[in-house]
Amino acid sequence: MSSAVKASSFVRKDKNVGSWDPNSAKWEEKEYSFTQKSWGIKANMEQVPASKEHPQPRIRFTYPLNITEVRYQSEADTLGLRVSDVIVAVKRDSAKADEYIDVVPEQDLDARQGSKQYVVDSVRDILMAGGLCSVKVKREWRHQRCESCGSDRIIEITELGDLTCEDCGVVHRSRLISMASEWRTFADDDNKNDPNRTGGPENPLLSGDGMQTMIQSGGGRMAADQLGTGANLSKSQYRSGGPTNDRLLQEGYSAIQSMVERLNLNSNISMEAKELYKAVEDERQKGIKVGKDVEAILASVVFLACRIKNVPRTIKEMLSVVKCTKHDLGRTLKVVTKIVTDATGKVIPTFDAKNIVERFCSSIGASHTVSKAAEEIVENVNESPTVAQGRVQASIAGAAIYMACLLREGEGTKSGIPLIAAVSSATGAAEATIRDVFKGMYVERHKLVPEWYANKEQLDSMLEH
């Protein structure tokens, strides 16, 4: 039974139009035709990394295809498109009237993690080309009229929990349950009994997205037998590790974070390494043998994460933050690499000395010019495999930096120690190894050193140190 109240008693500052009944939402379909090259809209898209099937990264629209932005005074704004409209079909104006291409999902093998769905490429090509085109969209709308005056201006007064008519003041519903987020937090309170009514956010790095039950020992005014039972249950759950073994995962994540910080890497590397570690642990639970040395596994996923993010680190750099041997790390790295590529579909880039030259040059205080010259020397060495055949990339990078610095007097010796010692300290390669690789490069120096960096006279007068 509706009851009339005075409109002057309403609190207007916290009203939410149409948020009271999700079931009242309906969908209507509209069609729009574009004529300009740029329509002025953006949709949900992301860059999919390279894979075996597609060696180059590419842009793809995620499904469902929601409009996320409509630029002011654009053609889309003039036609009446809105944010949150869902594109359901597209066609070029050159096609027949009934030749719409439906926006349907396509399971992409590049995105196995999270089972994302992407819009088919034919729709993406039409949308990114722009120009003459027609689209069909579906739009959510809500419609509720006042039983007393017939107005559709129905609002929710969140402070009172009432659904009222803004024109006549009739209360249609009361004591509504709010579906909005609870923004209160009690993190700084000293109260042992947590008053929060919600748990933490979903965590894809834990089994079941972290949505598991944790048993607390209790506290406060509890009977002795109740307190003891709660403590025993909590202790038993901790010792068993829970049904999803999340305790071991969290210990691994903490070790990865510590390793990343000691290597001065950013949070992107940490997140990538944790995702790889989760994939490895999932395969271990299936019975696949990875290795007994946990530190070697953690170092392997960090090493691969650096490679994926194009900030590679050498094996010696990884050994500086773990206690395992080089043999154990190399053996475990082969197994982890195979598991990662098979389980996630990610392609591990090859280790190129060019990607570490700039960092090593910065360590010895060499200039940007020396760094660029050393990178080109490494490229030329890779094109001539006989020059440094069988050498590790760190040794090739060290020899290239050493050669580039010798052609510029004073470069790389700002620390006051000999140049060869500085290069050895930065790259981790032995001085004898760098000299040995340098001798092979010295013979072909006229082909390896770029012409813009040193002329023929300078190369002829260069001594074989």
The domain ranges of the chain are 3-21+144-173, 22-142, 246-344, 354-460
Residue 401 · residue 363 · CB < 8 Å: no
**Tokens 């890779």 correspond to what residue?**
382
Identify the DSSP state of 206. Answer: S
Burial bucket for residue 221 (CB in 10 Å: 0-12, 13-18, 19+): exposed
Closest CA to 405 of 374, 384, 440: 374
Q: What residues does 134 pair with on adjacent strands?
A: 33, 91
Residue 405 · residue 366 · CB < 8 Å: yes
Tokens of 169: 């003041």
Q: Report whether CATH 2.30.42.10 matches the domain 22-142.
A: yes
- Render pLDDT for 381-428 as a digit per residue (tens, 0 to 9): 888 877 777 788 888 888 999 998 888 877 766 666 788 888 888 888
Q: How far is CA 187 from CA 193, 194, 200, 295, in A?
A: 11, 9, 12, 34
Whole-number Å distance between alpha carbons of 123 and 35: 17
> What are the residues whose beta carbons fall under 8 Å from the beta carbon of 75, sequence distance 6 or more?
34, 35, 36, 38, 39, 40
The pLDDT value recorded for residue 291 is 79
Burial bucket for residue 160 (CB in 10 Å: 0-12, 13-18, 19+): middle
Helix, coil or strand: residue 439: helix
Tell which CATH classification among 1.10.8.50, 1.10.10.10, 3.30.2130.10, 1.10.472.10 matches the domain 246-344.
1.10.472.10
Chain mean pLDDT for the chain: 78
Whole-number Å distance between alpha carbons of 210 and 202: 6
Neighbours of 332 (CB within 10 A): 24
In degrees to the nearest 10, what's the CA dihedral of 218, 220, 222, 226? 20
Tokens of 161: 């929990």
Those residues of the chain that have pLDDT short of 50 are 1-23, 109-113, 220-225, 243
Tokens of 326: 């080089």
Three-state SS letters, 105-131: EEECHHHCCCCCEEECHHHHHHHHHCC
Please confirm whether the linkage preceding 64 is cis (ω < 30° from 0). Answer: yes
Amino acid symbol at 176 = L
> What are the residues whose beta carbons fall under 8 Å from the beta carbon of 279, sequence distance 6 or more?
339, 340, 343, 344
Neighbours of 97 (CB within 10 A): 8
Helical pair 246-262 and 267-285, crossing angle rounded to 10 deg = 150
Angle at 146 between CA 145 and CA 150, to 5 degrees: 80
Tell me the CA end-to-end span of the chain in Å, nearest whole number: 99
Tokens of 289: 């043998």
CATH architecture, domain defined by 354-460: Orthogonal Bundle (1.10)
Identify the DSSP state of 50. Answer: P
In degrees to the nearest 10, what's the CA dihedral of 455, 458, 460, 465? -130
Burial bucket for residue 65 (CB in 10 Å: 0-12, 13-18, 19+): buried
Helical pair 354-363 and 419-427, crossing angle rounded to 10 deg = 120
Fold: same for 246-344 and 354-460: yes
Tokens of 5: 């109240």
Amino acid symbol at 68 = T
Longest dimension (CA), the chain: 102
The pLDDT value recorded for residue 59 is 86
Identify the DSSP state of 353. Answer: T
Closest CA to 398 of 432, 434, 425, 430: 434
Whole-number Å distance between alpha carbons of 363 and 99: 61
Residue 137 · residue 88 · CB < 8 Å: yes
Helix, coil or strand: residue 315: helix
Whole-number Å distance between alpha carbons of 388 and 402: 15
Phi first, then psi, for residue 373 (nearest 5°) are -65, -40
Radius of gyration of the chain (CA): 32
